[in-house]
Structure 1
Amino acid sequence: MHTLWKGSISFGLVNVPVKMHAATEARDFKFNYLHKECKNRIRQIKKCPVCDLEVGSDDLVKGFEYEKDRYVVLDEEELTSLEQPMSRSIDILDFINLPEIDPIYYQKSYYLSPEETALKAYRLLCQSMEESGKVALARVTMRSKQHLACLRVFENGLVMETMYYPQEIRHMDVVWDRVVPTEAELTMARQLIENLARPFDPDKYHDELHEQMVSLIESKVTGETYQVETPSKGGKVVDLMEALKASIALTENEKSQSQPIKPNETINLINPVNDGDGLEERDADNSQDKIINKPKSTLTPRKRTSRRAKEA
């Protein structure tokens, strides 16, 4: 596993040397723009629209737009003077209960593995955190930026989640709290949730769009015809109570078979919308195209990896 960063976990006067590794990877497909006629990759040109000239890297500066079309220029020396020093320490600030952190704060996951000289100290930290039921809130500097982070035990080791600061979290404007469901609707909704409740099994879920994209690309490479089913338009339009009753009846059977509701069994609802025109019909159909006669592919997109942090 590639090492992105080396440093140490610091809590109190204890230091645990560790290495950092990416815990996740993006499976995005990277597409390039080609010239339609010759199918060759095009080149992105940096051009000044005022001077009508192509601009090279040596003629570029960084500017911040403080008003419309008005910029203040910052040179590299000024920007460098503001950068955080490359600290090699993950400084634990507090130990807290994991449920106190809302998942909206999490950014990216990293594994922390111990250096050979710190196996006992690393295991001591893991076991003591696990037994206490606490996670660590820490501060770490990576790529000249200071991050808030959460350290927790995962699969007998430590995983670090970089986090957003509170100032980076947008707040929702609640405009729907004036709508009050009836007790009957709440009872049926709770029953529907209970019918759909199952233990978390990550292997059960698949990126269907990714699999379809793989099949489409493979068919283009081999010259085969790619076929998809016509998506379902959903069921008949009913009111909320009818939809709840039908959903409960459907999930009673689905629950015994441990299978999700099929897209073509989705029910359309009429929901009241406060737009001055009364009721607005909304389609609740979430069906997606399905691949016909396509085996599971082994084609994978190019991995997108993070830039390596500079070694101190």
Structure 2
Amino acid sequence: MHTLWKGSISFGLVNVPVKMHTATESQEFKFNYLHKDCQHRIRSIKKCPNCEKEVEMADLVKGFEYEKDRYVILEDEELAALEQPTSRSIEILDFINLSEIDPIYYDKSYYLSPEEAAQKAYRLLCQAMVESGKVALARVTMRSKQHLACLRVFEEGLVLETMHYPQEIRHMDATWGRIVPTETELSMARQLIDNLARPFEPEKYRDEVHEQVAEMIESKITGESFKVESPVKGGQVVDLMEALRASIALTEQEKEKIETNPDVDNQEAASQSEERKPKSTLTPRKRTARRAKGA
């Protein structure tokens, strides 16, 4: 995996040198704009409206608009000078329970792998965190921005999740919070949730739109026709209680069928697994660093 950042994890007097790698990747198809007449790719041009000329990347500077059309210029060197001496350190601040962090705080995931000489210390930290049941709340600086982060164990290694600060989280004006459901409605809603409860199996979920785009692209490449299936529209809820009763009855039938014949669940799971296999294996093209730089 490509190394994005090198530094170390520090807690107490322990220092573990690590390398950072992106833990996720976008599977979104990237489309280019082409000229309709000749189908050649359109080039993005940075043009100064005042000078009426094209501007190269080397001629750009960072500016903050503090008033309408008035900017203060910040040089890269000035921003770099603000970085703390610990900018190459993932500084652990506290150890906490993972359940205390609401998912809204999470931003992006990164893998952390140890330098060769630090593998024992890295493994020690992983095992100690697993046995304690805790995750680490840390601070790290990347690209001149200081991030709050969660450090946790995943697949026997460390994952760093960058997090939003509290002031970056918007709050909802929940006017519906004053509505009080009846005990009967709550009881039925809980029963429906229990009937639909399943273990988390991430492989059973898929991006159906992504798969259809892949099929459409392949059909166009091969000159075949492609038909988009119309989605099944859900029924409109007219009466809440009636909708709950009908939903519970349907899920109870499914539960009874599985309890009566456990093999049915396995057969359906196998059948659904087969259905979930994408018809197309087309994936977005990966751009090399050289091509990305020249684009």
> Shorter-normalised TM-score: what interval?
0.7 to 0.9
1:110 aligns with 2:110: yes
Amino acid at match of 1:71: Y
Specify the alignment match of 2:146 in structure 1.
Answer: 146
Specify the alignment match of 1:41 in structure 2.
Answer: 41
1:114-164 alpha-carbon deviations (Å, 9 max, x no partner): 222222211211111111111111111222222111111112221111111
Amino acid at match of 2:219: S
Query: Using a 3 Å threshold, how does the CA distance of structure 1 residues 106 and 303 change in structure 2: closer, same or farther?
Result: farther
1:164-205 alpha-carbon deviations (Å, 9 max, x no partner): 111211111121111111111111111111111000001111
- TM-score, normalising length from structure 2? 0.83
- TM-score, normalising length from structure 1? 0.79
> What is the number of residues matched between the two proteins?
273
Separation in 2 of the partners of 1:60 and 1:9? 35
Separation in 1 of the partners of 2:41 and 2:150? 42
Any idea what SS the aligned residue of 1:138 has? strand
5+ residue gaps in structure 1? 261-293, 307-312
Separation in 1 of the partners of 2:51 and 2:118? 59
Amino acid at match of 1:147: H
Specify the alignment match of 2:132 in structure 1.
Answer: 132
Shift of 1:53: 4.0
1:296 aligns with 2:292: no
Specify the alignment match of 2:201 in structure 1.
Answer: 201
Separation in 2 of the partners of 1:116 and 1:55? 44
Shift of 1:104: 1.0
Amino acid at match of 1:200: F
Any idea what SS the aligned residue of 2:159 has? strand
- Contact 2:2-2:21 at 8 Å conserved across structures: yes
Specify the alignment match of 1:212 in structure 2.
Answer: 212
- Contact 1:7-1:17 at 8 Å conserved across structures: yes
What does 1:1-312 correspond to in 2, within 5 Å?
1-57=1-57, 59-83=59-83, 87-235=87-235, 237-255=237-255, 256=258, 296-303=279-286
- Contact 1:86-1:143 at 8 Å conserved across structures: no
Query: Using a 3 Å threshold, how does the CA distance of structure 1 residues 115 and 79 change in structure 2: closer, same or farther?
Result: closer
Separation in 1 of the partners of 2:287 and 2:70? 35
Separation in 1 of the partners of 2:118 and 2:173? 48
Amino acid at match of 1:122: Y
Shift of 1:70: 3.7
Question: Which structure carries more relative contact order (alpha carbon 8 Å, separation 6+)?
Answer: 1
1:57-81 alpha-carbon deviations (Å, 9 max, x no partner): 4554433223344433434454444
Amino acid at match of 2:154: F
Query: Using a 3 Å threshold, how does the CA distance of structure 1 residues 143 and 76 change in structure 2: closer, same or farther?
Result: closer
- Contact 1:25-1:305 at 8 Å conserved across structures: no
Deviates more, 1:101-110 or 1:195-204: 101-110
Deviates more, 1:64-73 or 1:201-210: 64-73
Any idea what SS the aligned residue of 2:64 has? strand
Shift of 1:35: 0.5
Query: Using a 3 Å threshold, how does the CA distance of structure 1 residues 193 and 14 change in structure 2: closer, same or farther?
Result: same
Any idea what SS the aligned residue of 2:8 has? strand
Amino acid at match of 1:161: E
% identical equivalent positions: 78
Amino acid at match of 2:67: E
Amino acid at match of 1:36: K
Separation in 2 of the partners of 1:22 and 1:58? 28
Deviates more, 1:188-197 or 1:7-16: 7-16
Q: Which has the higher helix share?
A: 2
Any idea what SS the aligned residue of 1:200 has? coil
Query: Using a 3 Å threshold, how does the CA distance of structure 1 residues 253 and 84 change in structure 2: closer, same or farther?
Result: farther
